[in-house]
Structure formats: C-alpha cells, structure tokens
Amino acid sequence: MQTTGAASPAEGRRGSTSPSCQTAFRATWTQVQQATLTLLLLSVVTGIIYPLAITGLAQWAFPRQANGSLIHRDGRPVASQWIGQAFTAPKYFWSRPSATTPMPYNAGASSGSNLGPTNPLLAQAVQDRVAALKTLDPDNTAPVPVDLVTASASGLDPHITPAAAAYQAARVAKARGLDLQTVQQAVARHTARRTLGLLGEPRVNVVELNLDLDLLPR
C-alpha cells in the first residue's frame, strides 16, 4: 500500500498569523463571549419562548388534552382518560398489575417492574396473580390472557386487551347481577380498534368502562 504525501496536517495550520500571547488571549475571550451570549439567547428562544408558545397554543386548541384528558362527572374531575387505576373488587374489570410505589397506579411516580424474564420473582408474581383471578372466578377455565397478569411499562396502563376483558366479563356480570350481554356491550363501547385499522393494538379502557358500569341500572 502506498501512503505518500503530507500525513501531518496537525502541524502548520496557524501559519498565517504569528500567535503572540495577546492575540491568542483576545481570540479566546471573543469565543467565550460568543459562547456565553449564544447560550443565553438560544436558551431564551428554546427554553422559554418555545415552551410558552406551545403551552399557549395547546391550551387554546386542545385544552382537554393539554391538561391530562380528565373525565368529568357532575362537573368534577373523576379520572384521567389515559391514567389507569387499580381495581380489586369482583364487580370491576381489573386493570393490569402496576409496579409503582408505594401504591399501584401512582401517577406521581411512574415505573415498570423491570423484572427480567428469568427472575424467579416474576414467575412467582405471575403465579400469584393467576391464582387470585382463579379464586374469584373458579368456573372460568380459559387460559389467562398474558397482559392481565404482567405489569405494564409505566405502571399506569389505562388499557387491557379485548381478550382480558372477555376473560373477566362473566365474573363482572355475576357480581353486578347483570346479564352477560349488557356487560359485553359496555365492553364494546369502550373498545378502541387499531388506528386506521393498522397502528397499535385493539384495547379496552378500564377506567372508562368501570365508570360506565357504575352508572348502569341493575
């Protein structure tokens, strides 16, 4: 292989001006000024004007979404459309397990379990959750949909899969003294399809569904 020619461009680049100490200092001082001022000015643009402008536009165009998509009942906020809650009573559809602390579905401190797939604690937790579901619903011999016994990434997942809703529908109907069809219709009302028939996954909003069920006449 031939490697000819000037291989040391690191030398001789300051050849044009003889760098006396003073000019070097002045050049550095100019750089410090430019860096400081640019940081300040771009901070104002991207750190103050930009977020404030977006907030203003968002509050004007999408006030409900920008403030947490709260669901109101009788003029009071009762839940957020996007933040799940924990349910343990048989008459409610259960949400997915949540790993937030100190209580599940703590939307002030989102977190997943971070348990690895071979961690015995994960297997134990899943086993316990399956047992809890089976105890309340001994007649149900269907396999448990995996999302219903595994913790979500945020600990705040507002959704369960349609499979997980179908698994629980009979239990909820029995506990509420409703016929299965009424409960299934309520599930259907709160089931979202894939966006454009393509993106994401079909899902049931548990909070909206349970709020709705509480309003149904017996």
Site for other proteins in 126-185 (CB under 8 A): 126-127, 130, 142-147, 149-164, 166
Q: Is 39 helix (H, G, I), strand (E, B) or coil?
A: helix
Q: Kindly state the smallest distance separating residue 61's Cβ from other proteins, in Å.
A: 7
Binding segment for other proteins among 18-26, 84-92, 175-183 (CB under 8 A)?
84-92
Residue with tokens 């579905």: 105
Q: Kindly state the smallest distance separating residue 179's Cβ from other proteins, in Å.
A: 22
Dihedrals φ, ψ of 203, to 5°? Answer: -155, 155
Work out whether 81 is an interface residue with other proteins (CB under 8 A): yes
Q: Kindly state the smallest distance separating residue 108's Cβ from other proteins, in Å.
A: 4
How far is it, in rounded angstroms, from Cα 148 to Cα 168? 10
Residue with Cβ nearer other proteins (144 or 170): 144
Residue with Cβ nearer other proteins (131 or 181): 131
Instruction: Transcribe 147-195 into DSSP letters.
Output: GGGS--SSS---EE-HHHHHHHHHHHHHHHT--HHHHHHHHHHTEE--B
How far is it, in rounded angstroms, from Cα 214 to Cα 40? 54
Work out whether 19 is an interface residue with other proteins (CB under 8 A): no
**136, exposed or middle or buried, with CB in 10 Å at 0-12, 13-18, 19+?**
middle
Work out whether 23 is an interface residue with other proteins (CB under 8 A): no
Site residue total, other proteins (CB under 8 A) = 123
Residue with tokens 């002045």: 26
Binding segment for other proteins among 17-25, 97-105, 171-179, 182-190 (CB under 8 A)?
97-105
